[in-house]
Chain A
């Protein structure tokens, strides 16, 4: 069956396209700043050298809060009404998936503190005397389980036959919980550091937090902590899934795409294609420099991957801000009334953003351009560390053009759908 549920499975209206002028202004800013950075910015690395500190112990009060929230969420999802209006559906799509990003930016890597799955693993590990699991987590596995998990999530939201179906969401969450708990107990806490899609997504975005460093409140320049994103196998693919799927979501709303009748398999292939194109182009652009050996070249994409994070975050904000702020209100209300008894009465949504389309369009363009600028600066600085002196300028060129390409595509999608 073809799928064409608007607004990511939850129903309701979506954003207006941004006006042409806004897109043009945003694009020219992005282009100008990019080449200004390349031509005029510093010639010696300035942001490198920061070491990631030891991960902090999980804070018990956050673990307790996480357990309470998890019970609330799962209770609503499985015991609440058997329909899309069930608060658990919205909580997964809006609060968990989109809310995770601002939470990590503001509060740092609190997902690992909140994660009830880590708590279960810790308790089982203590009881069995195997706190680090039964099998060592293979290093080559890296982030690949998280890539698979994220793909499974965006497939559910964007390409599955009925993303709003309560049965689909219940099944997905049940599978996720089983895999996460079993893999955590068997492979130890490293599963959560490297393999749990939500934990990893949150930890990576947290490196861009300007407020929290190493789990402590410490306002700082986020471009200094961004390069400490750990380089593990699958990192580029992970960011490719995040950026590619968001772009696919915009693209799927275009009249061109909606005029087609496509099967789930065709939607799935297109979604995977978007993610692949984003990731492979990045692989290519990161390698496109002279004067490095084969092994060095192979390492470049991973070492530059952190610079994609601001682009992902900027585009996620541009794309999902209204969704979070306006749909989020309905979700919170539904969670406060988990069994649909209607005791809250008829509370309407405050359309604080939709009612001001010009402001909203400015915000969206602002997020995309800000993400782009941070990304270009981060890539520039890292290139000064990685590339031989003779190739410092030319070796960055392909990456710069690619980032301009990502940003123009993003603005074009905001403009046209």
Chain B
């Protein structure tokens, strides 16, 4: 149990030392143009400007990816790049929650940050599918 106790202690100390520093502005800017690089096809890619998740909604409403884990840091900018061939409502189950409506034919980017460690589900409300779980670590 010593290992656990000391790891816990170390982590609490680390939090105390670094914790209050990382208050990036919560970016909530719906923009329609793709600003930067990070052109990886599927899930995620930690870059300077945060993590981008590519989401595709097919004509029949099915979404990709499904249930993937994406690693994110607390306060890091998360961008959902949504290519929709069908209308859908996308929920981000963080605190506060985010909800984005997309129409058929839309290609949009939605950004937010998450302030607390934990796992946050990004969910397609219409088809009741979990798109990704954001694994938010401090």
How many angstroms between the C-alpha atoms of A142 and B15 in the bound complex?
A: 51
CB proximity to B under 8 Å, residues A245-302: 253, 255-259, 261
The distance from the CB of B92 to the nearest CB of chain A, in whole angstroms, is 10
Q: Is the CB of A362 within 8 A of B5?
A: yes
Chain B stretch 89-103: residues in CB contact (< 8 A) with chain A: 91, 93-95, 97
| Complexed CA–CA distance, A273 and B123 (Å) | 26
The answer to whether A16 touches B121, judged by C-beta atoms less than 8 angstroms apart, is: no
Mask: chain A, 165-187; 1 = CB below 8 Å from B; 0 = not = 00000000000000000000000
Interface residues of A in 1-51 (CB under 8 A from B): 1-7, 11-17, 19, 21-22, 25, 29
Known contacts A2-B128, A4-B128: does B66 contact A13 (CB below 8 Å)?
no
**1/0 contact string of A351-379 vs chain B (CB within 8 Å):** 10011111101100110000000000000
Give CA–CA (A365, B3) in the complex, Å.
13
CA distance A5 to B1 in the complex (A): 35
Residues of B within 8 A of A257 (CB): 67
Q: How far is the CA of A362 from the CA of B4 in the complex (A)?
A: 6
Assuming the contacts A255-B133, A258-B130, asked whether A359 and B8 have C-beta atoms less than 8 A apart, the reply is: yes
Cα–Cα, bound, A355→B18 (Å): 13
- B30 interfacial contact with A, CB 8 Å: no
Judged by a CB distance under 8 angstroms, whether A349 is at the interface is yes
Q: Are B128 and A354 in contact (CB under 8 A)?
A: no
Q: What per-residue 1/0 map shows which CB atoms of B99-138 lie under 8 Å from chain A?
A: 0000000000000001011111101000111100101111
Query: Is the beta-carbon distance between B117 and A16 smaller than 8 angstroms?
Result: yes
Which one of A5, A253, A258 has the greatest number of beta carbons of chain B within 10 Å? A258
List A contacts of B69 (CB < 8 A). Answer: 255
Number of interface residues of B (CB under 8 A): 37
Interface contact A16-B135, CB-CB below 8 Å: yes
Q: Is residue B32 contacting chain A, with contact meaning CB distance below 8 A?
A: no
How many Å from the CB of B10 to the closest CB on chain A? Answer: 8
Q: Which listed residue (A19, A29, A253, A357) contacts B117, Cβ 8 A?
A: A357
Partner of B67, one of A3, A7, A258: A258
- A355 in contact with B129 (CB, 8 Å): no
B7 CB–A CB distance under 8 Å = yes
B23-66 CB contact bits vs A (8 Å, 1 = yes)?
A: 00000000000000000000000000000000000000000001
Cβ A355 vs Cβ B117 within 8 A? yes
Q: Smallest CB–CB gap between B86 and chain A, Å?
A: 16
A366 CA / B8 CA spacing, docked (Å): 12
Query: Given A255-B67, A357-B138, does the pair A16, B118 have CB atoms closer than 8 Å?
Result: yes
CB-defined contacts of B133 to chain A, threshold 8 Å: 253, 255, 258
Contacts A16-B137, A355-B15 given: A11-B4 contact, CB under 8 Å?
A: no
Among A13, A15, A361, A362, find the residue whose CB has the most chain B CB atoms closer than 10 A: A13
Q: Which residues of A contact B123 (CB under 8 A)?
A: 4-6
The answer to whether residues A355 and B67 also contact, given A11-B97, A362-B5 and a CB cut-off of 8 A, is: no
Evaluate contact between B93 and A7: CB separation under 8 angstroms. yes
Closest chain-B Cβ to A318's Cβ sits at a distance in Å of: 14
Chain A residue at smallest Cβ distance from B74? A355
Q: In the complex, which residues of chain B have a beta carbon less than 8 angstroms from the beta carbon of A15? A: 118-119
CB distance from B50 to the nearest CB of A (A): 18
**A6 & B117 in contact (Cβ 8 Å cutoff):** no
A255 to B118, CA, bound (A): 16
Contact present for B119 and A29 (CB under 8 Å)? no
Given A14-B119, A21-B3, A1 and B128 contact (CB-CB distance below 8 Å): yes
CA–CA, A359 and B128, complex, Å: 33
Q: How far is the CB of B69 from chain A (nearest CB, A)?
A: 6
Complex Cα spacing A259 to B130, Å: 8
Instruction: List the A side residues contacting B137 at CB < 8 Å.
Output: 16, 357
Residues of A within 8 A of B128 (CB): 1-5
Question: In the complex, are the beta carbons of A4 and B5 less than 8 A apart?
Answer: no
A12-B93, A355-B116 as given contacts; A365 in contact with B68, CB under 8 Å: no
A292 CA / B121 CA spacing, docked (Å): 52
From residue B77, how far is it (CB to closest CB) to chain A in Å? 17
9 contacts between A and B (CB under 8 A): A4-B130, A12-B93, A14-B121, A16-B117, A258-B130, A261-B129, A349-B95, A358-B11, A359-B12
- Which residues of chain B have a CB within 8 Å of any CB of chain A? 1, 3-5, 7-8, 10-12, 15, 19, 66-69, 91, 93-95, 97, 114, 116-121, 123, 127-130, 133, 135-138
Known: A16-B118, A22-B4. 12 other contacts (CB 8 A): A4-B123, A11-B97, A12-B95, A13-B136, A16-B135, A16-B136, A17-B119, A255-B68, A257-B67, A259-B67, A354-B118, A362-B5
